[in-house]
Structure 1
Amino acid sequence: MVMEEKWLVGVDIGGTTIKMAFISLNGDILYSWEIDTDKRDSGRHIPTSITRSIDQKLTELNQTKNRLIGIGIGAPGPVNAEDGSIEVAVNLGWEHFPLQAILERETSLPVVVDNDANIAAIGEMWKGAGKGAKNLICVTLGTGVGGGIIVNGEVVHGVNGAGGEIGHMTSVPKNGSPCNCGKSGCLETVASATGIVRLAIEELASGDYISQLGDYYEKHQTITAKQVFDAANEANELAQRVIHQVAHHLGLALANLANGLNPEKIVIGGGVSKAGDTLLGPLKEEFVLFAFPRVAQGVEIVIATLGNNAGVIGGAWLAKEKLINKSILQ
C-alpha cells in the first residue's frame, strides 16, 4: 500500500492579501492561492477566513484534512514565541491577538506562528538565495523595511519577539523623519519605497532640476520608487543622489549588523530589490566601507529569488521543523 504524501500549509498574512500554499516536505509549492485580508472588526475574522479557504481548496482538490500535517504562518508585528500570539499589528487592528490558539481550534491542525519578515528569511534560507547558508541576514525593502536574522539555522527572536527589527535601526540620529514605530530617523524612513519617494521629493523641492522626473512630479505631484530607479539608470543627477543616500544608509546598517553577526549571506528582498544592480552596486560599495574587512570577505550580498513565495515557503519550513521536533512525523 502506497502512503499518500503529506502536505504542509504555508500562510503569509499581509495588510491587503493573505498568501497561502500547500507545500511538500521538500519545500516545493504544490498549490498556491491568495485571499483578501478581512480587516473588519479589528481583524478578528482573519483566522476564520484562513480556515474556510483551506477547507475550500481541499474540496476543490478532492482531498481531506488528513493530508495536512500542520500550518506555518507569518504575521506582521512581534510574535510571542510561547503561545503564538501577536503582540501588536497596527495595520490589521490586532493587539495581544491569540492567532495560534484560534487557528488551532478552528482548523484542528497544529499551528506555528512567526513574524512575516522572519518567515521570508527562512524561506530564502531553505529554497531561495540563502540556500545552504545557516547564518544570514534577510532584509525586505517594500513599503517599510522588514528583517530576519538567522544564526546557526535558527531565527533570532530576542527576549520578547522583537528580534530582527532591522528597519528600526536609527540611521539619521538627529532631525530624522518620523517613523510609524514612534521613533524618528529609522532606516525605514530612508530605505523603503516610501522613504525613497520622500527623499526624491525633498531633492526636487530644494533644487532646480530640469528632467523628466521633475516634470512628472510637477504635473502629478507624486512619483514612485521605480521611477527614481529608472531615472538613475538614465543618469539623472537627482535620482542618482537619492540612490546614493539610500545605499549609504542601508550599507551602514547592514555592515554594523554584519560586524556583530559575521553572516555568510545578506539577502535583499521586497519590491525595492527589483531595482537589481542599480541598488546592489552602490550598496556593496557602501557596505565594504563600513564592514570589518574579514566580515566583508566572508559575506555575499544577493537579491532574494523567491519573491512573494518566500513567506509561504518559510511558514511551511517552520511547521515541518516544529512537528519533527515533536516527533509527530516519526
Structure 2
Amino acid sequence: MPGVEAVVAVLRAVSTGEAPSRAAVSRHLGAARSTVGLTVDYLLDQQLLVERALHDGRRGRPIQALALGPKAPLGGLIEFGPYRTIVAVSDLSGAILARHSVRTALACGPQEAIDGAALAMDELMDRLASPGSRITQVVASIGAPVNVGAGSVARSNNRSRAVPFPSLGWEEYPAATYLSQVFGTPAVLENDVHLLAIGDAAGLERDRFPLIRLHASMGLGAGILTDQGDLVRGVSGLAGDVGHLVVDGSSERSCWCGKSGCLSNVASIYSIGKDLGLPFGSEAGSDLVQTLRELVATGDEAAIRRIRDAADVVGRLAAILVDVINPGRLVLSGELIHLSSDVLARVRTGVYERSLPLSSRHLQVTVSTKDADGALPGAAQLAASLMLAPSGIDRVLRGGRPPA
C-alpha cells in the first residue's frame, strides 16, 4: 500500500485536471513513472480512480485517461437558509454532482433542520446510484456569524433586545458536532459569505488576490481571502462581520447588539424595510425583497431615497475595506445590490471616490452572477480541500475508521 502523501498527490493531480494520465501525473509530480504506476494501480484497485481509453482522433494507441472512480470520496453540502434548506453532493474536483431543495427553514431549529437535511441527502445519494460511494466530509453554511472552532453560531453577549433573525435558535448550539453524529463523518459549519468568497476564488488569476466578497442582504457580511487565496477567519472565525462596524460615531441609532451606529442599521434590507414600515419575519423576508423591487419599479420616492442612502453607506464601507485590504478584486452581491442599477452605480462611485487612488488603482469591481448558486460552490471547494488533506485521505484508506 502506497503512503498517504503519494495517494494525496496523485488524487489531487487527477481531480484538478492538471494530470489526466499516468505520464502526465509523473511529469506533474516530478516522480518516476514506476513509482506513480504503483500508486495509480492501488487507486484503481480501490476504485478511487478509473482508467479509460480516450480516442483523440490520432493514429496509434489510445490515451489511457485517469478519472475519479465510483468509490472516490464525496462531499455533502448543506445550505441552511431562512426559508429552505439546500443539500448537494460534490466530488474531489469541487464539482457539484446533484442538489435538492427542501422546505425546512432556519426557524424550525437546528436539530429539525439537520435531521431534514440528512434525509434529503440520503434521497440525493440514492438518485446518484453509485454503489460504494459515500460522503466523507460535510460542509454546511448559515447566514450568521460562526464560531468555527466551536462549530456553532456565535452569540452576542451585548444583546440589548430580541433579534428578529431566524438563526436566533441556533446560537451556541453545537451544530457541527450534531452534523458529524448524524452523517457519521467530519463536518464543519461556516458563515455563508466566507463560502461565497471561497467560491469566487475558483479559477481566479493570481493577480486578483487578495479578494473581498461584500454581501449586502438582510445583514452585511464580507469574506476576505489573502494574496495566497486563504480565507481570513480570525481567531474565533468571525472575521468579516462588518455589519456591526460603526463608521458614523454621531449616530444614536441603537442596534440589537447593544451598540449605536452599526452599519447594519442603515445598509441592510432588514433596516430598509423596517424604516419603510414593511413587514418582516421568518415568513415575510422573501416578500420584503419583492416589495422593495416593486416600490422601486413604481417610482416610490421614499423607498428610492432610503435605498440610495443604504447604497451610499455600502459604498463607504467598501472603500474602507479597499483601503485596509488593498484587494485585486471586490465582488459585490446580495439583494440590496440587485434592487436597482442605481444602487450598483452609487456603491461603485463610493469605492473609487472615497478609497485612496493607490488602493484602487489595480482594483477590479465586479457583481456576482452566481447568487442563485449561493454558498454551494464555495462549500464544494472547501469540502474538496478537506477531503484531499492527508487526514481526509487516511480516513478513506482506513475505510472510515479512525487512526489506531
1:247 matched to 2:324? The reply is no
Distance 1:138 1:102, change over 3 A: same
Cα distance between partner residues in 1 of 2:117 and 2:366: 33
Aligned mates of 1:21, 1:131 — CA distance in 2: 27
Shift of 1:146: 2.2
Q: 1:102 to 1:169 in 2, by over 3 A?
A: same
| Structural mapping, 1:122-141, within 5 Å | 122-126=198-202, 133-141=208-216
Matching residue within 381, 399, 403 for 1:317: 381
Whether 2:170 is the aligned partner of 1:94: answer yes
Deviation for aligned residue 1:188: 1.7
With CA pairs under 8 Å and 6+ residues apart, which has the higher RCO, 1 or 2? 1
Identical-residue share of aligned pairs (%)? 25
Is 2:246 the partner of 1:148? Answer: no
Note if 1:267 corresponds to 2:331.
yes
Change (3 A) 1:65 1:256: farther
Mapped partners of 2:364, 2:104: distance in 1: 36
Partner letter of residue 36 of structure 1?
R
Residue 113 of structure 1 pairs with residue 180 of structure 2: no
Partner of 2:264: 188
* 1:182 partner SS: coil
Q: CA distance change for structure 1 residues 184 and 106 in 2, over 3 Å: closer, same or farther?
A: same
The DSSP-based 3-state class of the residue aligned with 1:158 is: coil
1:283 is displaced (CA, Å) by 1.4
Displacement of 1:173 after TM fit?
Answer: 2.5
* 1:177 and 2:253 are equivalent in the alignment: yes
The aligned residue for residue 219 of structure 1 is none
Contact 2:80 2:105 in 1 (8 A): no
Structure 2: which 5+ runs fail to align?
1-43, 45-49, 51-68, 157-164, 279-288, 395-404
In 2, are the aligned partners of 1:86 and 1:97 still within 8 Å (CA)?
yes
Please state whether the residue corresponding to 1:154 is helix, strand or coil: coil
Partner of 1:214: none
**1:185 Cα deviation after fit:** 2.4
Q: Does residue 82 of the first structure (1) align with residue 157 of the second (2)? A: no
Alpha-carbon deviation of 1:191? 1.9
Aligned residue identity for 1:31:
A
- Structure 2 distance, partners of 1:69, 1:111, is 9
Q: Is the 8 A contact 1:124 1:305 kept in 2?
A: no
Distance 1:240 1:78 in 2: 30
1:159 is matched by which residue type in structure 2? V
1:1-330 to structure 2, matched below 5 A, reads: 2=50, 3-4=69-70, 6-37=73-104, 42-64=109-131, 66-88=133-155, 91-92=166-167, 93-126=169-202, 133-151=208-226, 152-198=228-274, 224-230=291-297, 241-275=305-339, 277-329=341-393
The structural deviation recorded for 1:53 is 1.4
Cα shift at 1:83: 4.2
The alignment's TM-score, normalised by the length of structure 2, stands at 0.67
Coordinate RMSD, CA, aligned? 3.0
Q: TM-score, normalised by structure 1?
A: 0.81
Counterpart-to-counterpart distance in 2, 1:38 and 1:240: 30
Is the alpha carbon distance of 1:237 and 1:46 closer, same or farther for their aligned partners in structure 2, counting shifts above 3 Å?
A: closer
Instruction: Give the secondary structure class of the aligned counterpart of 1:263.
Output: coil
User: What is the CA distance between 1:108 and its match in structure 2?
Assistant: 1.5
Following the alignment from structure 1 to structure 2, what is the Cα–Cα distance between the partners of residues 123 and 223? 26
Count, aligned residues: 306
Deviation, 1:45, is 2.1
SS at match of 1:100: helix
1:124/1:306 contact within 8 Å kept: no
Unaligned runs of 5+ residues in structure 1 are 203-221
Inter-partner Cα distance in structure 2 for 1:65 and 1:270: 39
Report the Cα distance in structure 1 between the residues aligned to 2:290 and 2:265, rounded to whole angstroms: 16
Query: Could you report, residue by residue, the CA deviation over 1:260-304 in whole angstroms, capped at 9, with x for unpaired residues?
Result: 100111111112222363222121112122101111112122111
Is the 2:75–2:383 Cα contact (8 Å) retained in structure 1? yes
Distance 1:243 1:78, change over 3 A: closer
Higher-Rg member (1/2): 2
Q: Secondary structure at the residue paired with 2:266?
A: helix
Moved more, 310-319 or 61-70: 61-70
Cα drift, residue 199 of structure 1: 5.5
Shift of 1:200: 5.8
Residue identity matched to 2:184? S
Does the Cα contact within 8 Å between 1:138 and 1:147 map onto a contact in 2? Answer: yes
Matching residue's letter, 1:124: D
